[in-house]
Amino acid sequence: MAGKIQKIHTSHHSNSHNLHSNPSSPSLAPSIITTRTSLSDELELSSSKSKQSISSIPHPNLNAHIPDSSSHPPGLTPSEKYKLTDFHLVRTLGTGSFGRVHQAYHRPTSRYFAMKVLPKEKVVRTNQVEHTRNERRLLVNVHNPFIVNVWGAFQDSSNLYILMDYAPGGELFTLLRRARRFPDPVAKFYAAEVALALHYLHSQSIIYRDLKPENILLGADGHIKLIDFGFAKVVYDVTWTLCGTPDYLAPESVDWYALGVLIFEMLAGYPPFHSEDPNPLKLYQRIQAGIVTYPSGFNPNAINLIQCFLRSDLSERYGNMNHGTEDIFAHPWFAEVLWDRLYRKEIPAPFIPTISGEGDSSAYDTYQENDVGQYGLPSSDPHGHLFDDFEYTC
């Protein structure tokens, strides 16, 4: 698939929807939800205001270059040797099939990070060795404003540790769940930032393969960070591996297809092929049939773009045709988007998380904590040789 993606450097522009002004103070209130109105009302109100401010905006210059994103943010040192003993693990931010993610306070720099902890025994037992090594390898080498940065990867005798950006705004999934659905301009803003992240990955011959609201985090500024590259893959042709989340599983597991599903879910509040039947084969059959019912009130341009993304015929799917990503960035649904300004984060996000400080984690759900005192304890290490790109610095 990636072999067909044209490496077009577009003049990325940004949604001119000024849905919320940026906060004037870096110290904000501790809740992600405002108390004045419901979140859905907030987004509807800011959406209507943004529509009134949209003027005639020039068509994107698809021949200009995307701004350089090869450097890490200032003040951080990804080459530094991070040690487990330098961190205070504050709380669990999320759990998964293979491990959990902690909020981690780095004492030497007084910064907060997200630390993914993966038990080596479980990684080996579930045949995730290559996926885990691949995630570390890819994230160390990709640098984009809308993709999480990795600052270190190390191991002890029992666990693997991957150190990443901490995003205090929590998951887009949580925001969508509380709002129930997003107004059209809000969904467009997040979809545009995801499109920029995917375009960058594809220009590096990387297919993401696990796009869903749970894998999109919000920074303190409200802009997105794509996370979880366990299924990502460097590929120069079609990949046929069955992977990803079922609701987002395309016939060929292609990212643009998943973006169409994401746009639908943001606008409707549920995925286009969602089934109450617990049998996953029923869901796969619905995906293969490709029949989608659009709720009333959908923007006709949004419907057209989703249809272009959900085509099961790869040769007719947006992002994979002769014009590559030009078809996407020039689509009428994105007509107001000023891609270059959006790339530089000059457009305020539609929802600014209200946080009390850098370490505020109120946007995240509460999980039962594990015994972090077990991390770093000496024990037998039969699997360490499988992870030689994870340093022993604990």
Sequence spans of domains, the chain: 2-69+171-343, 84-168+360-387
**pLDDT of amino acid 393:** 77
**pLDDT of amino acid 191:** 98
Q: Is 116 annotated as a binding residue?
A: yes
Identity of the amino acid at 85:
T
Catalytic residue at 277?
A: no
**pLDDT of amino acid 278:** 84
**pLDDT of amino acid 394:** 63
- Contact status, residue 157 vs residue 381, Cβ threshold 8 Å: yes
Q: Which CATH architecture has domain 84-168+360-387?
A: 2-Layer Sandwich (3.30)
**pLDDT of amino acid 364:** 96
CA distance 181 to 296: 13
pTM, 2 dp: 0.79
Query: What are the per-10-residue average pLDDT scores of the chain (394 residues)?
Result: 32 34 28 38 52 34 40 48 93 92 97 97 95 91 94 95 96 97 98 96 90 97 95 72 53 77 97 85 83 92 95 78 86 96 96 93 95 94 95 80
**pLDDT of amino acid 272:** 94
**pLDDT of amino acid 41:** 60
**pLDDT of amino acid 98:** 86
The superfamily in CATH containing domain 2-69+171-343 is: Transferase(Phosphotransferase) domain 1 (1.10.510.10)
**pLDDT of amino acid 58:** 35
Residue 265, by phi and psi: left (phi above 0), alpha (psi -120 to 50) or beta? alpha
**pLDDT of amino acid 132:** 93
* Catalytic member of 165, 184, 210, 255: 210
| C-alpha dist (Å) from residue 144 to 11, 200, 288, 325 | 15, 7, 33, 17
